[in-house]
Structure 1
Amino acid sequence: MSQLKNDLLLRTLRGEETERTPVWMMRQAGRYLPDYMKLKEKYSFFERCQTPELATEITIQPVEQVGVDAAIIFSDILVVPQAMGLEVQMVEGKGPFLPDPVKQEKDLQRLHLPDVDETLGYVFDALRLTKKTLDGRVPLIGFAGAPWTLLCYMVQGKGSKTFDEAKAFCYTQPGTAHRLLQMITDTTIAYLKGQAKAGADVVQIFDSWGGLLGPDDFENLSLRYIRQIVAALKDVIPTIIFAKGAFSSLEGMAATGAQGLGIDWCIRPAMARQLAGANVTLQGNFDPAKLMSPIPVIEQEVKTMMAAFSGTRHIANLGHGILPEIPVDHARAFVQAVKNYRTF
């Protein structure tokens, strides 16, 4: 395994002094890149995920074309429900669709704790091939969805702004909900350990729908399971938690022992730091829609963001995934502006 030539991200997660702030973007491998769109025309979504050569090519595109300080493996959070036995379709223009969702206790019988090497081995193969192809240029990030976010899709059967069916399921059938959350948690721990073994340098847990829960429900339905995952990976690999909109629980997330916490653009960095404490790296928090601005505006806005995080452990990122309509040169301008930023 070659030495990392650029380990800024890992050093920042460890709280070490670095010469500059590392930068990457959520959803950087994909939908805004013309070269990705060409592959999308040829291969279906899951073909792209399940073919290591394609996943590797897509993962590395933003490293070469945009200049980010880390690669994140091209995959999807819904490969876990798939591995557990639920059918998942990706419907063009509409997003994920699970035709046979979980609605009651007996539906859990259709699910199983998978052998991750068997069901998700293609992700591990993609990580191994990507690691080899990167040849130490930048660290490689693996990821999984948080159990609460996966439950949302597994119960609702599709995307939603409110996931009220998923919430109703948890409030009316709490026993079944917690059994499902535990099954997802156990699968995710095995899956992320497999990613570490296959060459991931750090893993991120995406709780995209964490912000739909009030603080007590977030603790009960999300954080207690994330805590198990972080604890299980403690001696294996560094972890970053990104729970969009759940900043009221930053203190609890910091207490898990995760090395990094992602924040969105709805909280000021100073407030996030106050809630999270000094011993964790904050990641974020540029509004992805701001990348539509003219390049000089992007450059100025990046300076404002960087100044707000100044003197603190920080990985520059967006506050959510990059939007499909962002011009590549705007994404590049964002990355370059972070790289050019100096406090001295």
Structure 2
Amino acid sequence: MPGEDPSSTQLNFDTTSFPELQNDLYLRAARGEKTERAPVWCMRQAGRYLPEFRAIRVEHDFFRVCRTPALATEVTIQPLRRYAGLLDAAIIFSDILVVPQAMGMQVEMVPGKGPHFPEPLRDPQDMSRLVDLEEGFSVDKELDYVYRAITNTRHALQGQVPLLGFAGAPWTLMAYMIEGGGSKTFALAKTWLFKHPEAAHELLTRIADVVAAYLVGQIRAGAQALQLFESWAGELGPADFARFSLPYLSRIAAFVKQQAPEVPLTVFAKGAHYALEQLAVSPFDVISLDWTIDPRDARRRVDEACAGLSKKVVLQGNLDPTLLFGSPDVIRSRTEEMCRAFGPAHIANLGHGMMPTHDPEHLRVFLESVHSASKKS
């Protein structure tokens, strides 16, 4: 909507009459069905690498964009508009840290630095500052603006592609809430795990229950698939991932699947390739891989873990995002190599999100290369 203020546009919050879906390739692939080609989308495909997004940010604070349904809708659709016919899914523009905000914490997005918590949780007693989940707390009320953005976006997409919802996973959110932002060592958050394990489990449980309800709310609002981001999974060793991450990922997935078994659910546990077998037998439908694992090895391990089970786990990923800084020829050759490694049944994506300094036209090369590689296979 060039020349318009997206926040002033008419909104549509009707969840009863969504436009008919025209491209269901992503949904069929995520359910393990055979598809004519690999669907493709990109984590952080809506965001700072796009000049049209930066134009909106000149006038609007980051979290204001998240909290204003018309703005979130506009930003979500921007890549679909730019890469017409090349993307097979949209993902709602929001942030994983809206959950800590809903739980009573202040979060700021500092230019050049990223997320900042002015008053992080420094010891277990600080959990008293969080909202009491038993005393009138409503996930739906606190995060209604995300639901409204999802519903509005479903209508604005006009059925072009499915709309994905998402949330941050408990360990990742806990780490932010304790560290006060990003970290190189996560020493403060990991100290909780080892020094205050009971409090850590209590906090992780609280976060998991909020996230589970939040994801189900996104489905009610119109999300057609979901992804759970355990971005800091790789900061945990195998034993600690099994103790402090996996149970909460599974708790969330089981709850969502109980409420909406038909909705595909993806987990992205960045850096936790040691846990592929455990993730494969969890309730998730899709495992998203980062770039540090060979898709052939991942496919073999997942298939062996699921042998004898009545489920087919789909893999998603996993081009190194920094390859988009390479030449178009390099992007094409490495994308084709990635697609061959996965084979015909996968969802093409990056191994992490788009970066602010990526050239938008290099993403176009990636998307076109996936389409081309799928036609050759």
Q: Tell me the TM-score range normalised by the shorter chain.
A: over 0.9
CA shift, 1:107, in A, is 1.3
Aligned to 2:272: 246
CA shift, 1:105, in A, is 2.4
Letter in 1 for 2:89: A
Whole-Å separation in 1 of the counterparts to 2:49 and 2:33: 33
Q: Is the 8 A contact 1:103 1:169 kept in 2?
A: no
Q: Is the 8 A contact 1:72 1:140 kept in 2?
A: yes
Aligned pair partner of 2:57 in 40, 50, 60: 40
Whole-Å separation in 2 of the counterparts to 1:212 and 1:73: 27
Which residues in structure 2 correspond to 1:105-254 (within 5 Å)? 105-112=124-131, 113=133, 114-235=137-258, 236=260, 237-254=263-280
Whole-Å separation in 2 of the counterparts to 1:59 and 1:162: 33
Aligned to 2:101: 82
CA shift, 1:64, in A, is 1.5
Whole-Å separation in 1 of the counterparts to 2:153 and 2:296: 36
CA shift, 1:68, in A, is 1.3
Aligned pair partner of 1:303 in 311, 336, 339: 336
1:335 and 2:367 aligned = yes
Aligned pair partner of 1:50 in 67, 75, 79: 67
CA shift, 1:289, in A, is 0.4
Show CA shifts across 1:21-60 (max 9, x none): 0000001101110100000111001110000000000001
Whole-Å separation in 1 of the counterparts to 2:257 and 2:155: 25
Aligned pair partner of 2:322 in 277, 283, 289: 289
1:339 alignment partner, SS class: helix
1:271 and 2:297 aligned = yes
CA shift, 1:170, in A, is 1.2
Aligned to 1:3: 20
2:245 alignment partner, SS class: helix
Aligned to 2:37: 20
CA shift, 1:187, in A, is 0.4
Aligned pair partner of 1:259 in 278, 285, 288: 285
CA shift, 1:2, in A, is 2.1
Number of residue pairs matched? 343
Structure 1's unaligned 5+ residue stretches are none
CA shift, 1:276, in A, is 1.8
CA shift, 1:323, in A, is 1.1
Letter in 2 for 1:186: D
2:266 alignment partner, SS class: strand
CA shift, 1:162, in A, is 2.0
Whole-Å separation in 2 of the counterparts to 1:15 and 1:243: 20
Letter in 1 for 2:317: G
Which stretch shows the higher mean deviation, 97-106 or 11-20? 97-106
Structure 2's unaligned 5+ residue stretches are 1-17, 307-311
Show CA shifts across 1:50-88 (max 9, x none): 000000000011112123110000000000000000111
2:349 alignment partner, SS class: strand
Letter in 1 for 2:275: S
Letter in 2 for 1:241: V
CA shift, 1:117, in A, is 1.7
CA shift, 1:333, in A, is 0.9
Runs of 4+, deviation exceeding 3 Å: none
Whole-Å separation in 2 of the counterparts to 1:309 and 1:218: 26
Show CA shifts across 1:244-280 (max 9, x none): 1001001111111211001011100011112222621
2:363 alignment partner, SS class: helix
Give aligned-pair identity as a percent: 50
Whole-Å separation in 2 of the counterparts to 1:259 and 1:162: 31
CA shift, 1:104, in A, is 2.1
Aligned to 1:322: 354
Whole-Å separation in 2 of the counterparts to 1:292 and 1:139: 28
Whole-Å separation in 1 of the counterparts to 2:185 and 2:24: 38
Which stretch shows the higher mean deviation, 2-11 or 73-82? 2-11
1:307 alignment partner, SS class: helix
